[in-house]
Every structure is written in structure tokens, then in C-alpha cells.
Structure 1
Amino acid sequence: MLFRLLRLILILTLVVSAPPSFDAVAQGLGQAPAGLVADQQKILQSLTTKTDNFEKQIQQDAEDDGSLVDIRLQLEELSHQSLNSALAFRTRLGEINSRLEQLGAAPAAGQPPEPDIVSGERQALVSEKAEINSVIAVAQTLSIRISGLIDKIGNMRSELFRNLLTKRYVLSDALSPQVFSDARDEFGNFYKAVSSWLSFAFKFKFQAILAATFVALGLALVLLVGGRRLFGRVFEADPTNEDPSYLSRLSVAFWSTLLPSLA
């Protein structure tokens, strides 16, 4: 009696813990991930609304290159998001295709009908696949539209650049009599300022200017003669050496350029 009771308990335990039946598995595979489809539809709707707004903004800021650059960057981000929305169904589509291959094709006319659970699951999978494909088509269409707007912005910026290079300016104001009159007055003021300074310098500072000039010339002569005597070997080539080394020629070229510049 005790052994029978234990065997009954064991059988009930196995039944309760047994894996789900084929019907339950089929129903689970045939259920559409409504949440994923709905989420991606909302995302695509939001992206479409943003794209519409950017398209209007492109027309409004057609002459503003900086604004067009900013819009293009944001459109590129929207294009990336739309492609990600389409890629979100990759895993689910793989599962659907794999399950459809397992179920096989529907029986042809004249063949025995298949169980209702199998035909129902196939129909659910086909419907789900069609729904997913429609969402992917919307994402691809949106991506193509965004790419067209990006190309349009590129053409508009090129046109703005060409217009800037070929822009014509009105020169009538720049060549008006008033401009020549003002230029003559400014030149007269400059001439008066320079002549007044020279007149003052020669009348009251002539000796100081003369002394400073002679001192500067004397120092320059001393530096020229003394520098050549002290550093002549450095920056003057040796005429007796018919085949100087590369380092020697490089040294002469360097010092012959540096020392006169410092002086």
C-alpha cells in the first residue's frame, strides 16, 4: 500500500513538471511581439514628425549656411535611428523564418488537411511577418527621404558658396567724388604732419640727429669689419678647399644667413 502511494505521488510529480505540449509551444511561437512593433511604430512616427519640421526649416534658413550645417547633422542622426529601428526586427524575423521552415508549406489541394493548430500558427506567423515588413518598409522609406534632404542641403550650400564667390558689389559709392575729396584731405593732413616733424627736427634737433647718424654708421662699420675678421672663417667658404664636406657647406650656409640677420 505504501509503495503504491509513493508511485502515485511520483507519477503526479512527473506530470506536473513535464515540458509544455506541442500545442502550447505552437501558440507561444505564433504570438506576435505586439510591444516591439508598436514601439518601433511610435519611434518612426516621431522621426517622421522631426523630419517634416526639418524640411520646413530648410526652406526657412535657405540662406544661412550655419543653420544648414546644424540641420544636416541632426538629419544624419535621424537616419541612423531609422536604420536602427529596422534592424530591431532582425532577431524576430529569423525566428519566424526558422519556424515557417519547420512547419513546411501548406498541403496542396487533394492532400489530407493538416491540424488546425499548425495552420493557425502558420497564418499567425505569416501575418506577423507581413506586419514587421511593413514597419521595415516605413523605416527604409524614411531613411531614403532623409538622405534626399541631406543631399539637398549639400546642393544648397554649394550654391551659397558659388553665389558668395561671384557676388557683385556696388562700386559707385567707393569711386564717388566724396571719396576722392576725403582721400585728398587725409593725404594733405599726413603731408603736413610729416613736414612739420621734419622742420622741427632740422631746426631744433639737427645736431642730435647728425650725431646719432654718425654714431650709428660708425657702429655699423665696426660690426661689419670686426664681424668679418672674427667670424669670417665661419660664414665664408675656404677658396683653397675644392671639395668641402657636406657638413662644412651646410655650416657656411647657416652662419652666412644667421649672422648678417642678427647684425
Structure 2
Amino acid sequence: MADFNLEDFINILDNKEVFQYLIDKKIIKEKKFLETYEYEKELHELQIQLTAIQNKVIAENKRVLIIFEGRDAAGKGGAIERLVEFLNPKKLRVVSLPKPTEEELGQWYFQRYFKQLPNAGEIVFFDRSWYNRAVVEPVFDFCTKEQYQLFLKQVNEVEELLINDGVILIKLFLTISKKEQADRLEERKTDVLKQWKIGSLDQQAQEKWDVYSKYIQELFKSTGTKKSPWIEIDTDNKKHARLEAFKIIINQIDNKERDKTEDFVKIHN
């Protein structure tokens, strides 16, 4: 289907002749067009709400840290891109740290992440975080068993200190089925515009699926707490997942109870 923004959708729907012409010429499919319109409409409304929430964060000098974790190709980057699209860039940061330097390898594990914590009035998104040590590193033997166990022992205390100091911490885990992941990874290989997304570890995501699963379950069990739960979002439907991420973040920052009955959301605490 052609690439439309919300204004395009509205203009087309307001003109019945144009709408019918696009259907007749097979430029659009009516059902998919209407579904995409509803998604774009709700997305736009949520982006407005999140902008208002950011204004409150700035006015009240709140500090917000949003951690995005998940399997390869689960859609972390796409979700973050839409979350920050209309936010004030002077009061937000998206942090995606490269592998540690030799100097950082000699530091306390959390040290390089602490340099990226939010200042007053700021929202920071971690596109992967210190939880690399809970999943990716042990899967690929990038850390020792002792380092892994030490991380699990320390991380809850670290996060409790941050929360007690006033940081609003939101932890989102984007999950995906094995088949959907395989399809998306294959698409990245064949689509020239998406090949930059292929990382060296992505190639092994499928063959190490069960190993990943083992560490992910331990992640939820050991690091999901009442104060700092994991909110797991099923991303096989990217659009539903993105909208849910918005709703969760808006409600968490605004300190509201969120509906936990969605069948593609799980709370691990």
C-alpha cells in the first residue's frame, strides 16, 4: 500500500470518489487501508498525550528512565522512533551504547550506564541496557558465570536505589515468536533499506533460540520486582505493540493503574 500520513488518510476518506478510484486501481486495499488509518489515528492521539506528559516531566523536574529489552528483530528501534518523534529533543536522549572499551571493562559494570541516567526534567530511553549482562552476554559467553551471578545479585538493589531517589523506571521487554523473528530477519537480508539492521549476533538468534529463552525466563524471575516489574509486550503485531508501549509509558509516568488484561501483555514482578 502507498505510504500515507494521517492527513493523507483523512483527505482520501473525505473524498469518496478518490477513495473508490484508489481501490479500483488496486493502489490500496480497503480493509488494510482502514485498519492502517485507525492505527495512525490512535498513534497520533497517543503521541499528543505523550507530549503533554513530557511537558509535565519538564515542569516538575521528574527523571524518567525507560528500558527497552527484547529478542532480536522484536521492534525496539521502531517503537522508540515513534515514541520520540514529536517529543522535545532538548529534554530526551536515546542511549544505545556500543560494546565496552578496555577502560570500561575494568570498571564496575553499571558505571558506564550511570553516566547516561536522566537529569531533572529529562526522559532517557535505553535501547538495550545493563540487562545485556542478563541475556546477551551469557548466551554468547561474553561474561563469566560469576559476573552473571553478581549482576543478578546487584541489579535489584541498584534499581531500588534509583527508584527511592525519585527516578521513574519503566522496563519493557518486547517478545516475538520464533517464526515471526525468522521472517523479519530474512526480510532484513533481502531488503536493501533494512540491511543496516543486521548485526553480527542477529545471525545466531534463531539457532540459539532455546538458550535465549532460558536466560529470558531467569531475567523475569530474578529481576522483576513489585517496585520494578518487567512489562512484556508481544510484538508479532508491530502496530498493536507500539500502541501498547505508548499506553504503558503514559500511564506509568502519570502514575495511573494500567489495564493488565490485554492478551499480548504480561507483567513480571
Shorter-chain TM-score above 0.5? no
TM-score by length of 2: 0.20
Higher Cα radius of gyration: 1
Larger proportion of strand: 2
Larger proportion of helix: 1
